[in-house]
Structure 1
Amino acid sequence: MKRILIENGVVLTMNQAGDIHERGCVLVEDSRLAYVGPREGLPRDLDARRHDAAGHVVMPGLVNCHTHLCMIFGRTLATNTDLLSWLDLQMPLMRALDAEAMLAAQTLGCIENLKNGNTTVVENLFAPRSDSVSPEDSAFAAMENTGIRGVVARAFEAMRFDPAFVETPAQQAQRIRSLHARWHGRAQGRLGLSFGPLLPWTLDESMLRASRALATELGICLHMHVAESREFNRIIERHYGRPVRNVELLHETGCLGPDVQAVGVSDLAPNEITLLAETGTSVVLDPQTRLFWGTGFPALTPFLEAGIHCGLATNGPAANCGQDLFESMKYACATAKTAAADPHALDARRALRMATIEGARVLGLDRRTGSLEAGKQADLITIDLRQPHLVPAFDLEPALVFSARGTDVRDAMVDGEWLMRGRRLTRIDEAAVLARAEEMAERALAGSQVRRPRHRTLTPQGTPHDD
C-alpha cells in the first residue's frame, strides 16, 4: 500500500460541518483519503512518504463544471463581439482542427486547468462531423494522459447550424452509445460522458425527448447551454413558432431533472426558477463570461433562495481567455452582490462550496470528490499563502475567494497521484506541449483563413506602433 502524509498545512475540508484544521494532516492510501484531521489523530511513527505543507492551504481540487477546450486555439480572437457573432468567428478555426491539433488543444487545456487547481473538468466538446476522426477520443486521451478527472459533455447539432457540424439524431445516438461503451467509467472511474444540444434551436421537440430517453437509457447526464441571454429566448420563440421560453421548453420535453446541468443561465423568469427547483435541476454559472459578452448576469440570489444546486465554471479559454476558477468565485460574489444591491448576497464560503463540493454534486460526483473526507478519492491541491497578495490572511475563506489566483496553486493530486509538485507537472512535458500547441494553432489559423489580429507593440520611444 502506498501512503502519503500531507502535514503542517491549514486543511480546508469543505465537509458538511465546514471543518478547518490548523496544522492539520491528510493521509492518502493508494487513491483514497484515509484520514483528514488534526495531527493528534495519527500515530507518530506512521510509515508514509511525507509532504510538508507548512504555510500552505490543503483543500479539495476545484471543480470546473463547464469549458470548451476544443476552442482553445481561438483565445484572444474576436474579443469585442456579441456571443453569437463571436461563435461565428470561431467556427472556421474549429473546422481546421484535425485529430493531431485536437489532441494538442485538449492537452493544453487540461494542463491549464491543472495549473489553476482544477482537478475536475467538464469539456463541452463540439466539432465537425467526420467518419474518420474522433475528436472525443482526443479529448478523453488528453484527460487520461494528464491524469485529470474529466467528463466529456458531447454537444450536438441537428439543424440551423454550420452544416459541417450537423448530424442526424440517429448518427448522434450511435456516437453517444459508442463513446459510452469505450470511455465512460474508464481509468478507474476517473473519466465520464454526458451530452446535450449545443444550442436550443439546433434541434426540435422530438429530438429533445429522444435526448432525454437516451440519457436515461445510458444513465448519464444532460449538459446544455440554457437561457444564456435575452436573444436566446427570442430565437427560441422564432424557431419553435410559439411564445415558449428555454426552461419551459426543457420542462415540456422532460429535459429537466437531477441529472441535468443548465449552463450559463442569465435570462430566466420567476416561473422558470421554480421549475428548476421543483425538478432538482442544477445550474452552472460562469459570471465572468456573461460580463465578457455583455449579456448580463443572473442575480444568483433567486437560485440560492430556491435551493438550487449551483456549480461554477470558467467557460472556454476562447470565451474569457483563461481557466482560473478563483476568478470565477470572485466574479460570482461581485455580480451577485451588484445584481441584488446587497453585499450579503453571496459570501466567500458559499462561493468556495460552489467551486468544490457543490460543483461535484452538480455533476453527480460528490461521493467521489469535492471535499476532503475519509473514503473519498484523493483529489486535492495546495495553495501557497506566503504571497504578498495573501498576507495577512486573517479570514481564510475570503482570502481564497477575493485574493488568491490560480497561479498560487503549488501542488495538485488526483486519485492519490501527484500531477503537479511545486508548479511542475509530473506526467507531462509542459514545454513540449506548449511548443506543439503553438505549432498546431498556427497551422489551424492558416488553414481557417481567419484574419490574424494586428499586434500593437511599443516603439523604443515607448509610443504605440501597429505592426
Structure 2
Amino acid sequence: MSVLHDLLIRCATIVTVDLKRRVIENGWIAIDADRISAIGAGEAPKAKRIIERPGLIAMPGLIDAHSHSGHGLVRAAGDGDGDLWFRICEEIYAGVATPAFWRAEARLAQMERLKAGVTTAVSLLGGGADVMRTDTPEAGDVHSAATIESGLRTFVAVGPGRLPFPKHFGTERRAVSFEQQMEVCADLIARHDDILARRTGVALILPVYSNAHMELHGPEIRRMSAAMRTLQDKAGVLFTQDGHRTGTIALARDLGLLSPLAALGHSVDLAEEDFAALRETGASIIHNPSAIMSIIGRCPVPELLEAGVTVCLGSDAGAPDRGFDMFRHMAQAMHYHRRHFRDPAVLPEGKALELCTIDGARALGVADQIGSLEVGKKADVILLDGRKPHLWPPVMALNRITHFANAADIDTVIVDGRILMEERKVSHLDLGEVLADAEAEADRAFAACGRMDTRLESPETWTQARRMAGAYRPAGSED
C-alpha cells in the first residue's frame, strides 16, 4: 500500500544545503506533520495536498541571527544623525513604549520576515544604546505572542542594560536593578523558551564591555557576567551580544561568557586574541554586512571561516537603513569582502547561502533540526518563484539565489509543515491591520517623546557629496 503524504512539493530545483550540498533538478519534497519525510527526483509519491507550479525553487527557510525589536517603528528617525538616533531609541524603548508599541512592531516585523522567507530570527528586545526592555515581562510576552500568531520562529534576546544601575524605565522613570531585570529574564525563559515545539525562544544578552569599562566598573562587570553565565548554564539557552570589536571578544572569554551557545554580533576589527578566544570556546560570529558598524569597521569573515569559526548572517533589523531581506545581505556580504581583497573568488555563492541557512542554525544550536532540507528535519521550506526575468534562464541556482533574487521573489513559506504564505498570500494575518496598528503606535510614541520632527528628511540629502549630520558611534563607545 502506497504512503499518502500530508503535503508534496514538486519543484524545478531543490537546493538542499544538506551534507552533500545536493541541488536536485525536477525534484519533490514530501512532508508529514511537521517533518520532511522524503526528498527525491522523478516519479513522486501521492499526497493529500500538492504544490506544483512552474519554476519553483525550494530551499531551507532563511535564518536572521541578529536583529532588534522596536526598530521597525523608528526606521530612519534622525535622518542619519547617529547620536540623535540613539537618543530617540532610548527615549522610546525605555520610556514611552507601551506593550501596544511592542506588539505592533513585532507583528510588523513578522509580516516583513514572512514575506521575505525568513523563518527563524533572533530579535533583541530593544537596542540603540543597549536599551533592553526587561523591567517587566510585558514586552517579551507580546513579542512572543506575535511570533506564535505569525507561525515563524523567533528567539527574543533579553538582558540587563548598560552600566550604571539602576536603569530607569517608563514615563514615570521607575528605577529597576540588575537583579530585577535578571528575574524578568528568568521568567521569560521559563514561559517562552521552546523554539522547536512552540516556535518561541529566549536568548540572554549582556552589553559588550571593553578594557576601558573594566577600569571603571571591573568588579560589577565580573559579578554581572557570573550571574549571566549561571542563568545561561541553568536554562541551557543561547547567549548573544551586540557590537564586538577589537579585544572585546577576548575579554568576554575571560569573563566566562563564551561557549558554543554564544553568538556574537558585528565583531569588527578583531585582534588575534579575539580569534584565539573564538577557537578556544567554540563561540560563533554574526556578520551584519549591511549595518553601519560594517562601514566603520570590518568583520573578517573569510579569515574567520578559514580559522574554523562558525559565521552566520544577521540583518541588524529593519532600521535605520536596512530590512529583513536576507538576499540583500547575502549579496552585500559577497561584494563587501570581495572588494576588501580585490578578489571575486572570495566568499563563493554557496558559502554565502550557508551563512543564512545551515551556519545560522549551527550558531543558534539547532542545526540538527533546521537549516537544511533533509529527511527527519523540521519542514521549514521556502519556495522562490524562479520564473522572473531577473532569475532567468533557469541555470546555476546558487548564482540566481545569491546575486539576483530578492525578498519579493518568495512565493511560499512553510514552517513546521504549515503553509504560512502561498503565492504571496497570507491568509491568517491581516496586512492592512498590521500596517495601520504600526503606523498608529509609531505616531503615538514619537508624539509622546516630542520627536515628531525627527521623521522629516533634511535638505542636506540633495546636491552635495556628504551631509553634516552627526556621525554614527557604536553603542557604549562614549564611555
- Fold shared per TM-score above 0.5: yes
| Cα deviation, residue 179, structure 1 | 0.8
Between 336-345 and 134-143, the greater mean CA deviation after superposition: 336-345
| Cα deviation, residue 132, structure 1 | 6.0
Distance 1:32 1:123 in 2: 25
State whether structure 2 residue 255 is matched by structure 1 residue 275.
no
User: Pairwise mapping of residues 313-352 of structure 1 onto structure 2 (< 5 A)?
Assistant: 313-352=314-353
Report the aligned-residue RMSD. Answer: 2.2
State whether structure 2 residue 404 is matched by structure 1 residue 403.
yes
Query: Does the aligned pair in 2 maintain the 1:9–1:52 contact within 8 Å?
Result: no
Query: Counterpart amino acid of 1:193?
Result: V
| Cα deviation, residue 173, structure 1 | 2.3
For residues 247-304 of structure 1, the C-alpha deviation after alignment (integer angstroms, 9 at most, x for no partner) is 121111111110100111112112211211221110001111146x732222312111
Query: Does the aligned pair in 2 maintain the 1:36–1:374 contact within 8 Å?
Result: yes
Distance 1:285 1:131 in 2: 29
Q: 1:365 to 1:187 in 2, by over 3 A?
A: closer
Query: Does the aligned pair in 2 maintain the 1:298–1:339 contact within 8 Å?
Result: no
| Aligned residue in 1 for 2:74 | 74
- SS of 2:70's equivalent in the other structure is helix
State whether structure 2 residue 7 is matched by structure 1 residue 4.
yes
| Aligned residue in 2 for 1:17 | 20
| Cα deviation, residue 455, structure 1 | 5.1
- SS of 1:24's equivalent in the other structure is strand
State whether structure 2 residue 145 is matched by structure 1 residue 141.
yes
State whether structure 2 residue 186 is matched by structure 1 residue 182.
no
Distance 1:162 1:113 in 2: 35
For residues 149-205 of structure 1, the C-alpha deviation after alignment (integer angstroms, 9 at most, x for no partner) is 111111321524894257433212211221111111177242211111144359612
Q: 1:328 to 1:360 in 2, by over 3 A?
A: same
Distance 1:131 1:367 in 2: 34
| Aligned residue in 1 for 2:238 | 221
Distance 2:252 2:286 in 1: 16
| Aligned residue in 1 for 2:168 | 164
Distance 1:340 1:413 in 2: 38
| Aligned residue in 1 for 2:468 | none
- SS of 2:377's equivalent in the other structure is coil
User: Pairwise mapping of residues 48-447 of structure 1 onto structure 2 (< 5 A)?
Assistant: 48-82=48-82, 86-94=85-93, 95-126=95-126, 134-160=138-164, 163-164=167-168, 167-185=176-194, 188-200=197-209, 204-228=221-245, 245-290=247-292, 294-447=295-448
Between 280-289 and 295-304, the greater mean CA deviation after superposition: 295-304
State whether structure 2 residue 32 is matched by structure 1 residue 29.
yes
Unaligned runs of 5+ in 1: 234-244, 458-467
For residues 123-168 of structure 1, the C-alpha deviation after alignment (integer angstroms, 9 at most, x for no partner) is 1113676766610001101101111011111132152489425743
Unaligned runs of 5+ in 2: 170-174, 460-479
Query: Counterpart amino acid of 1:381?
Result: I
Distance 2:125 2:414 in 1: 25
- SS of 1:178's equivalent in the other structure is helix
Query: Does the aligned pair in 1 maintain the 2:28–2:41 contact within 8 Å?
Result: yes
Query: Does the aligned pair in 2 maintain the 1:125–1:152 contact within 8 Å?
Result: yes
- SS of 1:441's equivalent in the other structure is helix
Distance 1:161 1:455 in 2: 36
Q: 1:273 to 1:5 in 2, by over 3 A?
A: same
| Cα deviation, residue 375, structure 1 | 0.6
Query: Does the aligned pair in 1 maintain the 2:226–2:256 contact within 8 Å?
Result: yes
Q: 1:117 to 1:397 in 2, by over 3 A?
A: same
Distance 1:162 1:398 in 2: 51
- SS of 1:425's equivalent in the other structure is coil
Distance 1:455 1:131 in 2: 33
| Aligned residue in 2 for 1:460 | none
- SS of 2:89's equivalent in the other structure is helix
Distance 2:166 2:52 in 1: 53
Distance 1:447 1:310 in 2: 40
Q: 1:420 to 1:338 in 2, by over 3 A?
A: same
- SS of 1:188's equivalent in the other structure is coil
Distance 1:192 1:61 in 2: 17
Query: Does the aligned pair in 1 maintain the 2:106–2:146 contact within 8 Å?
Result: yes
| Cα deviation, residue 4, structure 1 | 0.6
For residues 342-400 of structure 1, the C-alpha deviation after alignment (integer angstroms, 9 at most, x for no partner) is 22220110010111011011101111111110111110111111112112243210111
Query: Does the aligned pair in 1 maintain the 2:370–2:378 contact within 8 Å?
Result: yes
| Aligned residue in 1 for 2:464 | none
Between 264-273 and 386-395, the greater mean CA deviation after superposition: 386-395
How many residue pairs get aligned? The number is: 437
Distance 1:2 1:161 in 2: 56
Between 125-134 and 48-57, the greater mean CA deviation after superposition: 125-134
Q: 1:437 to 1:305 in 2, by over 3 A?
A: same
For residues 327-353 of structure 1, the C-alpha deviation after alignment (integer angstroms, 9 at most, x for no partner) is 110111111112223222201100101
| Cα deviation, residue 29, structure 1 | 0.4
Between 89-98 and 378-387, the greater mean CA deviation after superposition: 89-98
Distance 1:154 1:176 in 2: 6
Q: 1:120 to 1:128 in 2, by over 3 A?
A: closer
| Cα deviation, residue 53, structure 1 | 3.7
Between 130-139 and 262-271, the greater mean CA deviation after superposition: 130-139
Q: 1:225 to 1:34 in 2, by over 3 A?
A: same
Distance 1:453 1:177 in 2: 36
Distance 1:167 1:346 in 2: 45
- SS of 2:296's equivalent in the other structure is coil
Q: 1:304 to 1:47 in 2, by over 3 A?
A: closer
